[in-house]
């Protein structure tokens, strides 16, 4: 009986000790866990708020880590232990630079509190500042500014004629006379007005005639301007288009009897090559259709790749070799080059072939 009472006493003491120990924990209590900055201008700069907290526990509070959800949010916090009943704070700053619009960010607090992880939240709306002229028109063509120095006509039917405009801004104190040095024959280019007034603007009008371009697939060109009589080659506008054959007027019977392109394989890996070596591979093109397959154009992604089709017209049921040569001169490491084959197959007018290799550079000595 005596031993039993001793055992009960020990158990009670341990339970009491554990209960006291459990009570002697730090506890982090925040005045607020969400802060709304409201709406402010981007030009107002970094915004900062303080989340104040109190250690309402019975042991010193130690913040082990404060982690933000974004690099745009920077925290500072009380590093030394916070005694029971004492206060501390976590400062959170948000940088709105180049971040217009609504934001919601989190700050995760890790500590030895009885609640080891607490999430704070900040939110607000950044009103976009007025952009400068240089930001609105970041590209320069001589003394003029433009939003872009490239006009893309994207996909054009082979018989289409399309017009695009480009705004020209003169931010100088003198008028600028815009003339033309070189214009591709299948384009018509005008400037209105021909003299862009000081602190004024005008427009470059480009009309692209796809039929007169006489090509298929991706085509790029440059329009060279003359500004105040200058012959600076840098005063130019890039123009590109992808011209597609018009199959819209083919009858059901013509479509049923159309050519059908097929390659026995569409990719080849040359494996390892020593830098400077050349390797060849022959793709086999098969016409599975019922009329002549015509190769309109073959375009490579790199001048290091040469393509030589044996013929440009493949009869129905016939095949033709398409030899590809890859020159590894000046290359190193893994290489991947594409060959675009454009034909008169109405269902698959564009086929992409690919050759790959791993170019090894010989070690010196």
Model pLDDT, residue 76: 92
Q: Answer whether residue 104 is part of any domain.
A: yes
Model pLDDT, residue 20: 43
On the question of pLDDT at 2 being above 90, the answer is no
Which of 101, 127, 153 is a domain's end point? Answer: 127
262 and 209 fall within a common domain? no
SS3 content of the chain, % helix, strand, coil (to 5): 10, 55, 35
Q: What is the number of alpha carbons within 13 Å of residue 111 lying toward its C-beta?
A: 29
Which of 110, 127, 144 is a domain's end point? Answer: 127
180 and 206 fall within a common domain? yes
On the question of pLDDT at 303 being above 50, the answer is yes
Give phi and psi for 271, each to the nearest 5: 75, -150
Residue (of 169, 172, 181) closest to 235 by Cα position: 181
Beta bridge partners of 278: 327
Q: Answer whether residue 18 is part of any domain.
A: no
Q: Answer whether residue 17 is part of any domain.
A: no
Say how many domains are in the chain: 3
- Mean of all residue pLDDT scores within the chain: 91
Peptide bond before residue 59 is cis, with ω within 30 degrees of 0? no
Cα 303 from Cα 352, distance rounded (Å): 16
Domain assignment of residue 330, given as a range: 252-360
224 and 208 fall within a common domain? yes
Average pLDDT, integer, range 137-154:
95
On the question of pLDDT at 12 being above 90, the answer is no
223 and 274 fall within a common domain? no
227 and 256 fall within a common domain? no
DSSP assignment of 149-175 equals SEEEEEEEETT-EEEEEEEEEE-SSS-
Q: Answer whether residue 238 is part of any domain.
A: yes
Tens digits of residue pLDDT in 310-346: 999 999 999 999 999 999 999 999 999 999 999 999 9
Whether residue 231 contacts residue 181, with contact meaning beta carbons closer than 8 Å, is answered with yes
295: helix, strand or coil: strand
Model pLDDT, residue 365: 56
* Burial class of residue 261, CB neighbours in 10 A (0-12, 13-18, 19+): buried
231 and 258 fall within a common domain? no
149 and 72 fall within a common domain? no
Whether residue 285 contacts residue 263, with contact meaning beta carbons closer than 8 Å, is answered with yes
- Domain CATH code at residue 257: 2.60.40.10
Average pLDDT, integer, range 270-284:
95
Q: Answer whether residue 183 is part of any domain.
A: yes
Model pLDDT, residue 43: 86
Tens digits of residue pLDDT in 56-98: 999 999 999 999 998 888 899 989 999 999 999 999 999 999 8
102 and 68 fall within a common domain? yes
Q: Answer whether residue 204 is part of any domain.
A: yes
Average pLDDT, integer, range 239-254:
95
229 and 145 fall within a common domain? yes
Which of 210, 227, 244 is a domain's end point? Answer: 244
Q: Answer whether residue 342 is part of any domain.
A: yes
Model pLDDT, residue 131: 83
């Amino acid at each position: 009986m005596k031993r039993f009472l001793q055992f009960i006493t020990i158990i009670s003491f341990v339970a009491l000790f554990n209960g006291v120990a459990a009570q002697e924990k730090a506890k982090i209590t925040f005045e607020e866990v969400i802060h709304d900055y409201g709406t402010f201008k981007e030009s107002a700069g970094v915004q900062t708020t303080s989340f104040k907290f109190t250690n309402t526990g019975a042991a010193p509070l130690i913040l082990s880590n404060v982690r933000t959800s974004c690099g745009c949010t920077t925290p500072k916090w009380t590093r030394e232990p916070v005694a029971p009943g004492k206060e501390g704070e976590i400062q959170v700053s948000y940088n709105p630079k180049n971040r217009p619009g609504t934001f919601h960010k989190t700050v995760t607090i890790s500590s030895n509190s009885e609640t080891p992880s607490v999430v704070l939240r900040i939110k607000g709306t950044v009103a976009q500042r007025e952009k400068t002229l240089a930001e609105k028109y970041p590209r320069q063509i001589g003394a003029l500014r433009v939003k872009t120095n490239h006009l893309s006509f994207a996909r054009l039917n082979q018989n289409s004629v399309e017009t695009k405009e480009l705004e020209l801004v003169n931010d100088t104190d003198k008028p600028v006379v815009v003339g033309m040095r070189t214009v591709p024959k299948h384009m018509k280019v005008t400037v209105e007005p021909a003299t862009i007034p000081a602190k004024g603007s005008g427009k470059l009008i480009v009309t692209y005639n796809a039929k007169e371009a006489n090509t298929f697939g991706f085509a790029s060109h440059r329009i060279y301007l003359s500004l105040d009589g200058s012959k600076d080659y840098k005063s130019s506008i890039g123009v590109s288009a992808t011209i597609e054959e018009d199959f819209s007027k083919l009858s059901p019977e013509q479509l049923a009897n159309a050519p059908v392109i097929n390659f026995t394989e569409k990719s080849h890996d040359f494996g390892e090559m020593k830098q400077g070596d050349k390797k060849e591979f022959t793709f086999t093109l098969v016409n599975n259709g019922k009329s002549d397959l015509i190769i309109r154009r073959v375009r490579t992604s790199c001048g290091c790749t040469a393509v030589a089709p044996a013929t440009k017209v493949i009869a129905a049921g016939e095949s033709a070799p398409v030899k590809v040569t890859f020159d590894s001169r000046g290359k190193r490491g893994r290489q991947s080059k594409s060959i675009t084959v454009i034909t008169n197959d109405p269902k698959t007018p564009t086929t992409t072939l690919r050759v790959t290799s791993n170019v090894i550079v010989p070690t010196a000595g």
